[in-house]
Amino acid sequence: MVDKNQQVIDKTLEQEYKYGFSTNIEETKFEPGLNEDVIKKLSKIKKEPQWLLDWRLKAFRNWEKMSEPTWANIKYEPIDYQALSYYAAPKQLKNDSLDDVDPEIIETYNKLGISLNEQKRLQGVAVDAVFDSVSIATTFKKELSKHGIIFCSFSEAVQDHPELVKKYLGSVIPATDNYFAALNSAVFSDGSFVYIPKGVKCPMELSTYFRINATNTGQFERTLIVADEGSYVSYLEGCTAPMRDENQLHAACVELVAHKDSTIKYSTIQNWYAGDKEGKGGIYNFVTKRGTCLGDNSKISWTQVETGSAVTWKYPSVIMQGDNSVGEFYSVAVTKNKQQADTGTKMIHIGKNTKSTIITKGISAGEGQNTYRGGVKILKNAENAQNFSQCDSILIGDKCGAHTFPYIDVNNPTAKMEHEATTSSIGEDQLFYCNQRGIKLDDAVSMIVNGFCKEVFEELPMEFAVEAKQLIEVTLENSVG
Amino acid sequence: MIKIENLKASIDDKDILKGINLEIPAGEVHVIMGRNGSGKSTLANVIAGNETYEVDGGNITMETTDITEMSIENRALEGIFLCFQYPVAIPGVSMAYFLRSALNAHRKYQGKEEMDALEFLNKAKAILSELGLDDSFLKRSINDGFSGGEKKKSEILQLLTINPKLAVLDETDSGLDVDALRTVAKGVNKFKNENNSVLIITHYQRLLDYIKPDVVHLMIDGKIVKTGDMSLVEKVEKDGYSWLEK
Ligand SMILES: Nc1ncnc2c1ncn2[C@@H]1O[C@H](COP(=O)(O)OP(=O)(O)OP(=O)(O)O)[C@@H](O)[C@H]1O
Ligand SMILES: [Mg+2]
């Protein structure tokens, strides 16, 4: 049995990555290297105001004094920041009409199952497509603007809504927050910007699709979402990259601001290239995501399904500042082959009656290493704060690992904390039970794993839930014998 | 229907089945009784192809097919169904999803069209009401938090839905209250016909008051040592097994 398991596990590891193709187009690309001149050049291309350049430079000067964090449970080759290029953009740049976008790029998105053509788009989802360092197209803009909703690339927002950008940029993640956030603040090239006005319930899902194409390029995008009083928005993020032998760096920042009575729901399906079975290539994904529940009764909910990347370092967090505000984190993280994930969340309770929920499902197969790292902090004035945490891990095979590091810091005696953690293997008895009912092994594994992830998948918007299920099925195909 | 010849099986080099011979023709109900640890569940598992056990010799033939080396799911698709003594829980997977997947795997194997969710629901609901189970049962995760009786009824629900050729019931009567026992018996009686077979593993006569067996086998230390009719069951109830060891 064990030998057979191993054979089939080995077979899985040879599974092709579906999105590994690359697009052959002409790109404008900076020479490798990072210094103040590079940042100035970048800022100039983007026609940025002086204050933004100053903000970048300040971040850069701080970054130079910082060192890469080493506390995470991940191992990787040192990154040579001078060997990377900090800007790559298709030569034919974005215009108002899709007709002006390079057909190769449209084709790339079609292959990824993302149609930029509004007629062909699934109803109810608006997309901002980011290709390497720049945003290529944003769909349904006009429709959204009827409601006063701003959904555009970050670069456009800087030009068209500088007051909003200036007010909120760095308000949740300060430019010097951590090593990767500082780097991102210095060199971010594009990303998405969303503003939902007072009382508006966004009529469709908003979505950004990130695609890394160029070689030796870091992708540093920045997303900023502001929900004004009483508004609601659900936002989806998807990512893929070509298969390349060298590691590619992705260091993004996502900032969310929820005003009084508003709700932001942010869902991610991360399927960056994970490297081959020897662990060669793949994306280094160092991401800072944080939201502030600024107003009373506001809510921020993070849901993530992480199946890709060679290395993942990511802790979507919520600062619950307003009274009665709510923070949620639902996560499924899958590691196989030599993938490593160190992911989790931080819930910071400041306001009274604040409530947070953390539900994480770690799945490790092959030699994958999956670490959950979660912090819950209850500040002194957070009367009656509540946290519920449940961190479950499942192991497939005997070469993988699951690790859980919960950090709890309670400074108010009225807090109610609940923490549960389990680690289990897919039981031979469960597989036998399924097989005995005529269900074959692959189907049994995906059934058991999907069952394990159910509480998280239920949080995803409908279409994404289906995609997530399929992704898990493909990812784990043949992972048990 | 099934023919077992000189079947030997072990686990961790410990011999458990020491040459079992058993033939159940279509249309018959057979019973196996025997002490705790005599190897009854092992036999059921080996028939179903559980790879935890090493088969050291002998053959299992289903109708005309030798299934001794066949994979677990192919045996299942060939018509073997095991009502587990201890059914395992699979959290987050609903009965409905699981059972429809199982049913459709069988239908596909038989060259039939797969059943859609609605058709399946109607079929399952009819069986549920006969078993005195609420429709909400289908929404629950398989065996997760089920009471002992619910677990056994769930196995019978699956048996009736999949409708295999051979049903092996491993102590399906254990731990049931009087009403549940009757419900289970009713389910088994509904299942059985002249084209299929039933193998009942039990410690008690009480289930057999409802389901009339054709043949009774007594097992001791991995071997069938006596075969007879219902009177053997009465003797065991009265005298236990020690008389067989002489
Ligand atoms: N998975 C296993 N690992 C180790 N030993 C086992 C295993 N399964 C069965 N055995 C051993 O094999 C022998 C037969 O067990 P089996 O479960 O077949 O008995 P049984 O007749 O079904 O008993 P009961 O009436 O108590 O259900 C026992 O000694 C048992 O301990
Ligand atoms: Mg037993």
Taking phi over 0 as left and psi of -120 to 50 as alpha, with beta for the rest, B185 belongs to alpha
**B215-234 average pLDDT score:** 95
**A466: which 2 tokens?**
């289906």
Q: Please state the atom number of ligand 1 nearest to the C-alpha of residue B53.
A: 1
Residues in chain B: 246
Beta partners for residue B30, in sequence order: B199, B215
Structural domains in chain B plus CATH codes: 2-94+164-245 (3.40.50.300)
Q: How high is the pLDDT of residue A121?
A: 47
CA angle in degrees (0–180, nearest 5) for B210-B214-B218? 95
Judged by CB atoms closer than 8 Å, whether chains meet at A451 and B91 is answered as yes
Among residues A327, A311, A335, the alpha carbon closest in space to that of A359 is found at: A327
**B162-168 average pLDDT score:** 97
Taking phi over 0 as left and psi of -120 to 50 as alpha, with beta for the rest, A230 belongs to left
Give the gap in angstroms from C-alpha B236 to the nearest C-alpha of chain A.
Answer: 31
Q: Which stretch of DSSP H or E encloses residue A389?
A: strand A386-396
DSSP A294-339: -STT-EEEEEEEE---SEEEE--EEEE-STT-EEEEEEEEEE-TT-
Judged by CB atoms closer than 8 Å, whether chains meet at A437 and B158 is answered as yes
What's phi and psi for B11, nearest 5 deg? -135, 135
Average pLDDT of every residue of chain B: 94
Among residues A475, A342, A451, A315, the alpha carbon closest in space to that of A402 is found at: A342
Q: Residue A98: is it exposed, middle or buried by C-beta count within 10 angstroms (0-12/13-18/19+)?
A: middle
Among residues A233, A30, A245, A254, the alpha carbon closest in space to that of A124 is found at: A233
Q: How high is the pLDDT of residue B20?
A: 96
Which residues of B touch chain A, with CB atoms under 8 Å apart? 48-52, 71-73, 76-77, 80-82, 84, 87-88, 90-93, 97-99, 101-102, 105-106, 109, 141, 158, 162
pLDDT at B44 over 80: yes
Among B76, B81, B84, select the one facing A435 at the smallest CB separation: B76
CA angle in degrees (0–180, nearest 5) for A318-A322-A324? 90
Q: How far apart are CA A303 and CA A266, in angstroms?
A: 6
Judged by CB atoms closer than 8 Å, whether chains meet at B90 and A447 is answered as yes
Model confidence band, residue B194 (pLDDT cutoffs 50, 70, 90):
very high
Judged by CB atoms closer than 8 Å, whether chains meet at A436 and B109 is answered as no
A480: chain B residues, CB-CB within 8 Å = none
Work out the number of other CB atoms within 10 angstroms of the CB of residue A225: 24
Q: If you measure from the C-alpha of residue B42 to the centroid of ligand 1, how many angstroms do you get, rounded to a whole number?
A: 6
Dihedral angle over CA of A141, A142, A144, A149, nearest 10: 80
**B68-83 average pLDDT score:** 96
Alpha carbon separation from A209 to A131, A152, A379, A460, B212 (Å, rounded): 8, 13, 36, 16, 65
pLDDT at B3 over 70: yes
DSSP helix/strand/coil, A207: strand
Among residues A329, A351, A331, A356, the alpha carbon closest in space to that of A341 is found at: A331
pLDDT tens readout for residues A78-99: 888 888 888 877 665 545 555 6
Minimum CA distance residue for ligand 1 atom 7: B11
Among A1, A443, A455, select the one facing B101 at the smallest CB separation: A443
C-beta of residue A316 within 8 angstroms of C-beta of residue A302: yes
Which of B42, B84, B221 gets mutated to test ligand 1 (max ligand atoms within 8 A of its CB)? B42
B76: chain A residues, CB-CB within 8 Å = 435-438
Among A437, A453, A455, select the one facing B76 at the smallest CB separation: A437
Q: How high is the pLDDT of residue A14?
A: 45
Among residues A400, A374, A397, the alpha carbon closest in space to that of A387 is found at: A374
Minimum CA distance residue for ligand 1 atom 28: B37
B101: chain A residues, CB-CB within 8 Å = 437, 439, 443, 447
C-beta of residue A129 within 8 angstroms of C-beta of residue A135: yes
**A127: which 2 tokens?**
């997309």
Q: How high is the pLDDT of residue A319?
A: 97
Q: If you measure from the C-alpha of residue B192 to the centroid of ligand 1, how many angstroms do you get, rounded to a whole number?
A: 28
Dihedral angle over CA of B101, B106, B109, B114, nearest 10: -50
A451: chain B residues, CB-CB within 8 Å = 90-93, 141
Work out the number of other CB atoms within 10 angstroms of the CB of residue A376: 24
Give the gap in angstroms from C-alpha B81 to the nearest C-alpha of chain A.
Answer: 7
pLDDT at B46 over 70: yes
Give the gap in angstroms from C-alpha A448 to the nearest C-alpha of chain B.
Answer: 7
Residues in chain A: 481
Where would I find the H helices in A153-263?
154-160, 162-168, 179-187
Q: If you measure from the C-alpha of residue B158 to the centroid of ligand 1, how many angstroms do you get, rounded to a whole number?
A: 25
Q: How high is the pLDDT of residue A116?
A: 62
Judged by CB atoms closer than 8 Å, whether chains meet at B73 and A429 is answered as no
Among residues A100, A89, A225, the alpha carbon closest in space to that of A157 is found at: A225
Give the gap in angstroms from C-alpha A249 to the nearest C-alpha of chain B.
Answer: 36
Q: How high is the pLDDT of residue A16?
A: 61
Q: How high is the pLDDT of residue A254?
A: 95
Provide the CB-side half-sphere exposure for A290 (13 A, CA). Answer: 21
DSSP helix/strand/coil, B6: strand
Q: How high is the pLDDT of residue A6?
A: 41
Ligand nearest to the backbone CA of B20: 1
pLDDT tens readout for residues A328-361: 999 988 888 788 888 899 999 999 999 999 999 9
Q: Are strands A401-410 and B215-220 parallel, antiparallel or unpaired?
A: unpaired
Q: Which stretch of DSSP H or E encloses residue B127?
A: helix B117-130
Q: How high is the pLDDT of residue A367?
A: 81
Q: Which of A392, A422, A436, A450 to mutate to test the interface with B (most CBs of B within 10 A)?
A: A436
SS3 of B100-123: HHHHHHHHHHCCCCCCCHHHHHHH
C-beta of residue A307 within 8 angstroms of C-beta of residue A334: yes
Give the gap in angstroms from C-alpha A374 to the nearest C-alpha of chain B.
Answer: 24
Among A430, A453, A455, select the one facing B90 at the smallest CB separation: A430
Q: Which strands sit side by side in the sheet containing B197-201, from one edge to the other? A: B80-83, B166-170, B197-201, B29-34, B215-220, B223-228
Strand ranges (E), A141-240? 150-153, 192-196, 205-211, 222-227, 232-240
- Residue A118 gets which letter from DSSP? T
Query: pTM of the entire structure?
Result: 0.81
Q: Which stretch of DSSP H or E encloses residue B190?
A: helix B178-191
B87: chain A residues, CB-CB within 8 Å = 433
Q: How far apart are CA A386 and CA A408, in angstroms?
A: 12
Minimum CA distance residue for ligand 1 atom 18: B39
Q: How high is the pLDDT of residue B59?
A: 95
DSSP helix/strand/coil, A342: strand
Enumerate helices (H) and strands (E) in chain A, giving the number of each.
Answer: 11, 23
Q: For chain A, which ranges sit under pLDDT 70?
A: 1-27, 90-106, 108-126, 130-139, 210-216, 239-247, 274, 279, 463-464, 474-481
Q: How high is the pLDDT of residue A8?
A: 42
Alpha carbon separation from A39 to A36, A185, A189, A212 (Å, rounded): 5, 10, 10, 20
pLDDT tens readout for residues B86-107: 999 999 999 999 999 999 999 9
Task: Check CB contact of A465 with chain B, cutoff 8 Å.
Answer: no
Q: How far apart are CA A469 and CA A16, in angstroms?
A: 18
**Residues in Cβ contact with A103 at an 8 Å cutoff, skipping those fewer than 6 apart:** none
pLDDT tens readout for residues B110-155: 999 999 888 999 999 999 998 888 888 899 999 999 999 999 999 9
Q: If you measure from the C-alpha of residue B171 to the centroid of ligand 2, how many angstroms do you get, rounded to a whole number?
A: 7
DSSP helix/strand/coil, A225: strand
